[in-house]
Amino acid sequence: MSHPHPELSLPPALQAGALRIVALGGLGEVGRNMAVLEYDGRLLVIDCGVLFPEDNQPGVDLILPDFDYIKDRLDDIEAIILTHGHEDHIGAVPYLLRLRRDIPLVGSQLTLAFISAKLKEHRIAPVTRVVKEDETVAFGPFSCEFVAVNHSIPDALAVAVTTGAGTVLHTGDFKMDQLPLDGRVTDLRAFARLGEKGVDLFMVDSTNAEVPGFVTPEVEIGPVLDSVFGASDKRIIVASFSSHVHRVQQVLNAAHNHGRRVALVGRSMVRNMGIAAELGYLKVPDGVLIDLKKVDSLRDDEIVLMCTGSQGEPMAALSRMANGDHKVSVGHGDTVILASSLIPGNENAVFRIINGLTRLGARVVHGGNAKVHVSGHASAGELIYCYNILRPKNVMPVHGEVRHLVANGALAVKTGVPADRVVLAEDGVVVDLVDGKASVVGAVPCGYVYVDGSSVGELTDAELKDRQILGEEGFISLFAVVDSATGKVIAGPHILARGFAEDDAVFEDVRPQVVQALEDSIAGGATDVHQLQQVMRRVVGRWVSNRLRRRPMIVPVVVEA
């Protein structure tokens, strides 16, 4: 198998007749999915999503793909293909369209409806092209055939991209649920047909490659929800992704069966479900949906609240409920259902929510104690089926952490794909398809781009590290005045500490050491203020490390008099 290496250099110029693939996100992580295909001087983008921050990224709202690789070639982009409407596949589109607003967006009806509503908030009117399964459309030198795939959101599509270099089949996110709620199965007949014609590179979802067997059908969740509803005699709060139309449908059905009314909580939930209902993807039983403002007029056993926050997002409705910072209060006897699986990296945040809600007296039902959610991604058994149906010449696992990509590659080898035809790449690694063989040819810079409030890309890793230090190790400011003529410290050092359990008096022990070090440095010929500030930093830093076992941020100030 081909593995990326840090020492990879920039790729050579693309050979005539070859196809280049560069993932700018989604390889080595679950999120910010984005792949750029290049052929004959033109570019095709597949997906453009966001990654949600982890605990060690304080203050960050979103993480975007790194657009630097294409920012000087925006006019070469033929289109952005969007495989489905989840945030980790469409969330970064507004930020790319800020660079060039008329890049055509291509996707299914629901996918484009979701992204168009999001773009309206960014005051961007997109150029869109609705496509359906079994349709083939050319975008420059890229002939794109769209294939129906089943996922945890309706209207998901795989795309087979054919150029003079061969055919690339990109699955997007998919599974092979044989009993989907909307009756729309993954089109294995189309996969087989493509396999007969020849798939030169299979870019395949890896998220559940470590999970044996097959994903449980969505229809099995309905009876479980119905049972939980039947056992609840107070309010029910269900948290899910704001785009999970299938799960919301099941909640509406269960509520209808038990004589409850449903109020949608959260702007994105209200917006997305409104779109889904208007387009016919969500079937709302008569009289079930009500406005949140009318909830207080109903008894507790007549209410279901459908909200966001199943991944522990700090500003989402459920997190704020758990913290007592939402107009909806959670009380003793209420039932809270987390109807989603854990995204890797979100475990601690979700467990904090569960503990907080339990402390308030709620019964919390989640994937660990009830079958209230099934994954939207193909497990190992389903992936093996696909490899056997397609018989691809080359395989490039996508969408997953490194362990998922490696597990997926191993499945491909088991089905007969030669090990040297399985390309394991991470973000920024450049893969060329030349004469039917895919191989790593280099790498391009591809870092995290942070959205922090209104700033995009201005927050650096160094500044993020500073935030971590401030949050974990504390902060010390030092101020001293020195007499430049005598070389004596005539005021200070004043020491102000924040984030320490110890009283400020503990720093009295280090003051004489700072004074002595400053005066010794001046006597030794040090006259530059910056040098003297570094002397203070070193003395206090060493003392705090030895005495308090901390490594705080230290800001020294020296003034000459």
* Residue ranges at the known binding site: 373-377
Residue 56, phi then psi, degrees to nearest 5 = -90, 15
Buried-exposed string 537-560: b where 16+ CB fall within 10 A, e elsewhere: bebbbeebeeebebebbbebbbee
Q: How far is CA 253 from CA 213, 225, 304, in A?
A: 29, 9, 11
Q: Which long-range contacts (CB under 8 A, 24 or more apart) does 283-290 make?
A: 283/249, 283/252, 284/252, 285/252, 285/253, 285/256, 287/261, 288/252, 288/255, 288/256, 288/260, 288/261, 288/262, 289/252, 289/261, 289/262, 289/263, 289/264, 290/261, 290/262, 290/263
CA 33 to chain centre: 8
Ranges of beta strands (E only) in 85-178 are 105-107, 128-130, 136-139, 142-148, 157-163, 166-170
DSSP class of 507: G
Q: Which residues of 26-46 are buried (b: 16+ CB within 10 A; e: fewer)?
A: bbbbbbbbbbbbbbeebbbbb
Helix intervals (H) in 279-316: none
Residue 244, H or E segment: none
List, in sequence order, every residue forming a beta bridge with 442; answer none if it has no partner: 430
Using an 8 Å Cβ cutoff, are 390 and 169 in contact?
Answer: yes
End-to-end CA distance of the chain: 66
Per the structure block, which two tokens stand in for 306?
A: 């459908």
Phi, psi of 359 (to 5 degrees): -60, -30
Distance CA(399)–CA(28), nearest Å, equals: 8
Binding residues for substrate, as ranges, are: 373-377
Could you give the CA distance from residue 127 to residue 28 in angstroms, rounded to a whole number? 31
Q: Report CA torsion sign: 87, 91, 93, 96.
A: negative
CA count, 13 A, side-chain hemisphere, 321 = 30
CB 412 within 8 A of CB 418: no
- Helix, strand, coil percent content, the chain, rounded in steps of 5: 30, 25, 40
Query: Which secondary structure element, helix H or strand E, spans residue 226, and what is its range?
Result: helix 221-230
315 alpha-carbon distance from chain centroid: 15
